[in-house]
């Protein structure tokens, strides 16, 4: 695992250089069919990940947001979001991150994850049974047992997963839990492992947005499931994601269920 971790950290730093090379108020982008922006940084970083994995672990598969390479009978797959928060990035807003996880394809669960914030020079990482870290300092989730005076991160509701986020926002507001939303779900979601937020709820299906969050949050003492409170795979699409400090997980599942369409 240490070998995989060092390999992944190096990729994250290379990705940081690419992101910062392009980041400005003049970032050019095109629009994808799903009505989300795409920049040169997204494609260059995605290509970088594929190139580095093929050089070092040619038997491994790669699942990237912009491009993938699936190898037959591969034991592991690298799940990558080259720039999570491309909408912010394309507008010159500094709330975006690089995210990558190594996922065991026998069960679809991540065994290692790295999330890097190029602007704040902050790197989070974890691997199975190794704890979670921010720039080398061990991190743990919060011990909040009530919703009052806490923060939760969420993202736009996605009809494809069959839930509305409106009941969640309403109930949390009534319970005096402040709801925050960033163009990058991972940017806010990692704050659960960091001990700042009690939870984060993702209403889209993509695995690349939540794979690294899964392992880092759980190694920090939290819990991560799909929107129904069940385990899910992270090498393919699923039914959204609930990230929590563990203590309030059942409560968040209950609230999210009230938004089932």
Domain harbouring 93, CATH code: 3.30.540.10
Domain-ending residue, one of 108, 138, 168: 138
Domain shared by 25 and 129, yes or no: yes
Contact between 144 and 198 (Cβ < 8 Å)? yes
Sequence-ordered list of residues with C-beta below 8 angstroms from that of 5, at least 6 positions apart, any chain: 112, 114, 125, 127
Question: What pLDDT does 146 receive?
Answer: 98
Domain shared by 126 and 172, yes or no: no
Separation CA 114–CA 152 (nearest Å): 21
Structure letter (DSSP) for residue 70: P
- The whole domain housing 84 covers 2-138
Question: What pLDDT does 156 receive?
Answer: 63
Distance of CA 184 to the CA centre of its chain: 8
Query: What's the number of CA atoms in the CB half-sphere (13 Å) around residue 59?
Result: 5
Domain shared by 247 and 168, yes or no: yes
Domain shared by 165 and 37, yes or no: no
Domain shared by 123 and 84, yes or no: yes
Contact between 210 and 189 (Cβ < 8 Å)? yes
Please report, for the domain that includes residue 210, its CATH number. Answer: 3.40.190.80
Question: What pLDDT does 221 receive?
Answer: 98
Question: What pLDDT does 159 receive?
Answer: 59
Q: In this structure, is residue 144 part of a structural domain?
A: no
Domain-ending residue, one of 138, 163, 193: 138
Question: What pLDDT does 161 receive?
Answer: 86
Contact between 178 and 171 (Cβ < 8 Å)? no
Separation CA 208–CA 210 (nearest Å): 6
| Residue 6: φ, ψ to 5° | -65, -40
Sequence-ordered list of residues with C-beta below 8 angstroms from that of 3, at least 6 positions apart, any chain: none
Model confidence pTM above 0.85: yes
Q: In this structure, is residue 74 part of a structural domain?
A: yes
Q: In this structure, is residue 210 part of a structural domain?
A: yes
Contact between 248 and 199 (Cβ < 8 Å)? yes
Separation CA 228–CA 201 (nearest Å): 11
Domain shared by 61 and 111, yes or no: yes
Q: In this structure, is residue 19 part of a structural domain?
A: yes
Domain shared by 194 and 133, yes or no: no
Domain shared by 9 and 84, yes or no: yes
Q: In this structure, is residue 75 part of a structural domain?
A: yes
- Residue among 258, 260, 32 at smallest CA distance from 161: 260
- Give me the number of domains the chain comprises: 2
10-residue averages of pLDDT along the chain (261 residues): 97 98 92 88 98 98 96 96 95 97 98 98 98 98 98 77 91 96 95 98 95 98 98 96 98 95 87
Question: What pLDDT does 34 receive?
Answer: 80
Domain shared by 123 and 239, yes or no: no
Determine how many CB atoms are found less than 10 A away from the CB of residue 59.
11
Residue tagged 């509701």 (tokens): 157
Question: What pLDDT does 160 receive?
Answer: 67
Radius of gyration, CA atoms only, the chain: 17
């Amino acid at each position: 695992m240490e070998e995989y971790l060092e390999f992944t950290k190096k990729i994250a730093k290379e990705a940081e250089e690419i992101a910062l090379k392009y980041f400005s108020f003049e970032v050019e982008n095109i629009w994808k069919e799903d009505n989300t922006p795409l920049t040169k940084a997204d494609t260059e970083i995605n290509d970088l990940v594929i190139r580095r994995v093929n050089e070092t672990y040619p038997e491994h598969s790669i699942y990237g947001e912009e491009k993938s390479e699936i190898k037959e009978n591969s034991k592991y797959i690298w799940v990558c979001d080259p720039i999570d928060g491309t909408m912010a990035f394309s507008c010159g807003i500094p709330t975006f991150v690089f995210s990558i996880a190594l996922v065991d394809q026998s069960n679809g669960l991540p065994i290692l994850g790295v999330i890097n914030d190029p602007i704040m020079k902050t790197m989070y990482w974890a691997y199975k049974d190794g704890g979670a870290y921010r720039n080398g300092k061990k991190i743990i989730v919060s011990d909040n047992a009530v919703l009052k005076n806490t923060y939760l991160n969420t993202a736009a509701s996605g009809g494809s997963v069959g839930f509305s986020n409106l009941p969640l926002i309403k109930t949390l507001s009534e319970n005096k839990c402040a709801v925050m939303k960033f163009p990058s779900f991972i940017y806010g979601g990692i704050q659960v492992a960091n001990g700042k937020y009690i939870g984060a709820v993702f209403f889209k299906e993509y695995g690349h947005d939540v794979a690294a969050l899964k392992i880092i949050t759980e190694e920090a003492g939290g819990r991560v499931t799909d929107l129904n409170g069940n385990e899910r795979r992270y090498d393919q699409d699923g039914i959204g994601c609930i990230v929590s400090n563990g203590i309030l997980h059942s409560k968040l599942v209950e609230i999210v269920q009230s938004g089932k369409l």
